[in-house]
Structure 1
Amino acid sequence: MIDRCVRPIIKKRLKIDTNKESRSIALPLASSPGLTDLIEDSRPTVTVLLLKMFSSGKVVKLYYDVASPYSWLAFEVLFRYRSIWNIDLKLKPAYLGGVIHGSGNMPPGFIPNKIQYMASDLKLLSEYFEVPMVKSSKPYESDSLVPMRFVTAVAEQDKEGDLLERVSRELWKRMWCTHQDITQPASLIEVGLNAGLSTNEVEEILTLAKSQPIKDKLKSVTKEALEFKGRSGWGLGLPISQPQYDHYSSILCRF
């Protein structure tokens, strides 16, 4: 089961590293002389910004929650192409439930047409981007607050970002590929161990995740994501990707 969740991602990375392809879906909200080669694709829409830049140091902030399958798609595509697009990717763990509530939006589960569309949409997108999502026989009903506090604690401990990338991916694989729990301490311990942490390090992060500073940090980043509400209709869900340019701003969102 784990092989099925890992192999497609590795395969896609090797393809990109070998052929230097850079093709995705773009949704610019403004033009910029520093941004080139925006390509619109007629395939089903995952909101991913195509960036091909010739200057260095451009920062892209990705606000995400592991409860969002579209966040996983954006996450993998941005990591896949970041060296080609020459971007500095900053991960910003946020709480999807807080963004949906704060924006006045409704979860897909409350809108039958949306949940039906998502099933077919995610099947096509997972095949196109080779991100290994497997349809579950029952809808996911658990809240992501506990795992996102865990991810936020990892982010506070991991200043380089490599561990945060691995932990986030392990959580997405459990939720959207193997359909395992991600809310219980035993599940988070398994996630941490699979991501390369020691047992002591995982226990330390679990304790940190329950602390008030981590709770406040997650609230703060979620509030940042909500500040995008009203900018061309974005900020209603996750992921949100915010490229930072001198004369360019683009807010991308899908959940």
Structure 2
Amino acid sequence: MSKTVEFYFDLGSPATYLAYTQLPKICAETGSRLVYIPMLLGGVFKATGNASPATIPAKGRYMFEDLDRYARRYGVALKFNPHFPINTLTLMRAVTGMQLRHPERFQAFVDCLFNALWVEGRCLDEPATVAAVLTEHGFNPEDVLALTNDEAVKAALKDNTETAVKRGVFGAPSMFIGNQLFFGQDRLDFVAEALR
């Protein structure tokens, strides 16, 4: 069994945020490598005919209650974002661009965006808010915006999303160990078990 976890993620998913808080620890404990693969969840939904559980009111209410239970279990902050769902196209291009062009700052970049969305509940659909968040964390908003318009970055995000769908991804978070897919932050115990 491979000792690498490929983590397909989109910032706009609260379940993905929870997985993101736990995977580094699981990988450290099992001597495994964590590979972050940004994808566009909206593109995955469109390609697979899937939709967010939040589109079904009763399921959406339950999902957020359940995610809150997991956040307490994990000992991490989670706040329902009143602006959910978020259009993450520009954000995920920025994440992909940071990974490609500035890998040394990738982790801090993703940290600040996940925190803004799922701890502070900020509206990252608004460019001014995004700029404020980036500035607060030492990133130049104009440089980040330039990344989102880079054709190679756009192509990389599109390729990641298409590859995810070809591999059987239908939502986020999705994690692969070898060719085995684990979907959902509530399957992290199986991820840890497979790595051990």
TM-score by length of 1: 0.66
Alignment of 1:97-136 (within 5 A): 97-136=42-81
The whole-number CA distance in structure 2 between the counterparts of 1:141 and 1:75 is: 18
Match of 1:250 among 176, 180, 195: 180
Q: Per residue, is there more helix in 1 or in 2?
A: 2
Deviation of 1:194 after TM superposition, in Å, equals 4.0
Match of 1:48 in 2: none
Does 1:67 find its partner at 2:9? no
Q: Amino acid of the residue matched to residue 164 of structure 1?
A: F
Alignment of 1:5-84 (within 5 A): 32=1, 58-84=3-29
The whole-number CA distance in structure 2 between the counterparts of 1:142 and 1:84 is: 33
Match of 2:92 among 122, 144, 148: 148
The whole-number CA distance in structure 2 between the counterparts of 1:222 and 1:152 is: 11
Deviation of 1:242 after TM superposition, in Å, equals 1.1
The whole-number CA distance in structure 1 between the counterparts of 2:117 and 2:144 is: 20
Match of 2:189 in 1: none
* Identity, % of aligned positions: 26
Over aligned residue pairs, what C-alpha RMSD do you find? Answer: 2.0
Size of the aligned set, in residue pairs, is 185
Tell whether the 8 Å contact from 1:65 to 1:94 is kept in structure 2 after alignment: yes
Tell whether the 8 Å contact from 1:74 to 1:239 is kept in structure 2 after alignment: yes
Compared CA separation, residues 84 and 109, structure 1 to 2 (3 A)? closer
Deviation of 1:172 after TM superposition, in Å, equals 1.5
Q: Which region of structure 1 is more displaced relative to structure 2, 106-115 or 118-127? A: 106-115
Tell whether the 8 Å contact from 2:41 to 2:171 is kept in structure 1 after alignment: yes
Deviation of 1:228 after TM superposition, in Å, equals 2.5
- Bigger radius of gyration among the two: 1
Match of 1:175 in 2: 117
Kindly indicate whether structure 1 or structure 2 has the higher relative contact order, using CA contacts under 8 Å at least 6 residues apart.
Answer: 2
Q: Amino acid of the residue matched to residue 172 of structure 2?
A: L
Q: Any unmatched runs of 5+ in structure 2?
A: 186-196
Tell whether the 8 Å contact from 2:54 to 2:63 is kept in structure 1 after alignment: no
